[in-house]
Amino acid sequence: MADVMAFYGRHEVAILIVILGLVTLATRAGGYLVLARFKRIPAPVQAGLEAVPAAVITTLVLPPALTAGPAEMIAMVVAGFACLRLPPIAVIMLGIGLLVVLRQLGL
Amino acid sequence: MSTEKQNEHAAVSAADKQREEALSGLRDLIPLIFPVAAFGTIFGTASIAAGHSIGMTIWASMAMFAGASQFVFLDVYRLGVPAWSVVLAVFAVNFRHILYSAAVANKIGHFPPLAKLASFFLLTDLQFAVVEKRYENFSGRRPITLTYYFAFGIAGYLLWILATAIGALFGSLIEDPALIGLDFILPIYFLTILMGFRARRNFVPVVLVSAVAAVVVEKTLGAPWHISIGALCGIATAVLLSLSGGGKAATAGEGSANG
């Protein structure tokens, strides 16, 4: 606890947080500002942009699923198949419920 | 008289439409209330555990409104490293938002400048996901309205701050988030979003390439670079497939002008 304050004072932390907020805002506006230079979007760029959500979200999903352990991996695979039939909130509850059970079993 | 009536009718239906858009925005937040509240609460708890005050914890959620980078902030800051490296780590984790903002640019291009700035502040993973999904549901025939965007965004923002405050206040209440699986909500949530995109073209090759690249980079360069580099590999795959697909179409058309 005290070690945090050893490096930074209270005001410095508050200012650091503001800077991090501005960095976040810059990344969130950056793609638009860059893209606004194009008048017409070429087909390959369009295809690339269409791929953005799946590509980014894959990188958020995969590493935790593969590295966390067998219980997490099983829960993710089952949840993945459940997505074909169930709405998102049901999949989340099923996945978390299954994970808790698997962890209790010692996986 | 009749014009007056018509104007009145137009005004009523415009107001109805506004309300409908606002309700759609709030409705789309409903399935996300639990994960958002859970993660906001966990952030609040973790921040107190890291030695920050309640006020500073809430300030972080107000100023950043970015779950993953707030956790990176806690983690990196705890190491007592120079401020610039905290900034760089948060930038790396947030790099994906450049891709988000490029993707939503044509959907919110009609917003006025100041509203656009505010909408970028609110452009979280979840905001991005619901905008993409709504656009997909209506096949682009229905524009993303200011009312829809901000109804979802502001409600989510307030929920995030409220959850952070609750987490900070009752910081010691959740002793072990893993015990009730709270630590794994986000991957499963992202998985449901990912599967929602499975009808898009190039879905399978993009996911496979991104997945392999992300795992390789995580093992070599380490987090958070696997997010940016992994995603760029998947996007490059879609671009290359489009380039080779374009060639194929030209061949099939035999001499037709290139598109």
Q: What is the distance of C-alpha B224 from the center of its chain?
A: 17
DSSP string covering B200-246: STTHHHHHHHHHHHHHHHHHHT-TTHHHHHHHHHHHHHHHHHHHHHH
| Residue B2 pLDDT class (50, 70, 90 cuts) | low
Predicted complex ipTM exceeds 0.90: no
How many other C-beta atoms lie within 10 A of the C-beta of residue A83? 20
Check residues B95 and B111 and name the one with the higher pLDDT. B111
A50, A51, B107, B125, B187 from B137: Cα distances, Å: 15, 17, 13, 18, 23
Total count of residues recorded for chain A: 107
Q: Please tell me which of the candidates A2, A20, A62 has its beta carbon nearest to residue B69.
A: A20
* A52/chain B closest Cα distance in angstroms: 6
Total count of residues recorded for chain B: 259
Domain extents for chain A?
A: 1-37, 49-107
Give the residue-averaged pLDDT of B90-104: 78
Structure confidence at residue A36 (pLDDT): 65
Q: Please tell me which of the candidates A12, A17, A54 has its beta carbon nearest to residue B200.
A: A54
Q: Where are the beta strands (DSSP E) in A1-107?
A: none
Is the pLDDT score of B234 beyond 60? yes
Name which of A25-29, B20-24, B46-50 the model is least confident about: B46-50
Name which of B72-76, B124-128, B217-221 the model is least confident about: B72-76
Minimal Cα distance from A11: which residue of B? B56
Give the range with max mean pLDDT: A12-21, A53-62, A88-97, B163-172: A12-21
B35, B58, B74, B174 from B182: Cα distances, Å: 9, 20, 18, 10
Name which of A36-50, A74-88, B167-181, B205-219 the model is least confident about: B167-181
Name which of A36-50, B12-26, B31-45, B102-116 the model is least confident about: A36-50
Note whether B192 contacts A83, CB cutoff 8 Å: yes
Which of these, B188, B174, B178, B185, lies nearest to A102 by C-alpha position? B178
A51, B218, B234 from A64: Cα distances, Å: 21, 11, 18
Which residues lie closer than 8 Å to B98 by C-beta, 6 or more apart?
A27, A28, A30, A31, A34
Q: Please tell me which of the candidates B60, B80, B91 has its beta carbon nearest to residue A7.
A: B80
Q: What is the distance of C-alpha B186 from the center of its chain?
A: 12
| Residue B199 pLDDT class (50, 70, 90 cuts) | confident
Q: Which residues of A touch B214 (CB under 8 A)?
A: 58-59, 62-63
Question: Which of B191, B204, B212, B244 has the highest number of chain A CBs within 10 A, making it the mutation to test binding with A?
Answer: B191
Structure confidence at residue B174 (pLDDT): 60
Check residues A13 and B61 and name the one with the higher pLDDT. B61
Check residues B172 and B187 and name the one with the higher pLDDT. B187
3-class SS at B173?
Answer: coil
Residue with tokens 């035999």, as numbered in its chain: B254
Task: List the 70-129 stretch of B: residues with Cβ below 8 A of A.
Answer: 73, 77-78, 80, 83, 86-87, 90-91, 94-106, 116-117, 120-121, 123, 125, 128-129
Residue type, B144: I
Round to whole Å and give the CA distance between B251 and B249: 5
* B131/chain A closest Cα distance in angstroms: 11
Which of these, A92, A77, A96, lies nearest to B180 by C-alpha position? A96
Q: Which residues of B touch A38 (CB under 8 A)?
A: none
Which pLDDT tens digit goes with each residue over A34-75?
766 666 778 888 788 778 878 887 887 887 787 788 999 999
Round to whole Å and give the CA distance between B206 and B228: 14
Which pLDDT tens digit goes with each residue over B38-81?
878 878 877 887 778 899 999 999 999 987 778 778 766 765 66
3-class SS at B199?
Answer: coil
Q: Please tell me which of the candidates A2, A23, A32 has its beta carbon nearest to residue B102.
A: A32
Residue type, A23: V
| Residue B166 pLDDT class (50, 70, 90 cuts) | very high
Structure confidence at residue B118 (pLDDT): 95
Note whether B206 contacts A58, CB cutoff 8 Å: yes
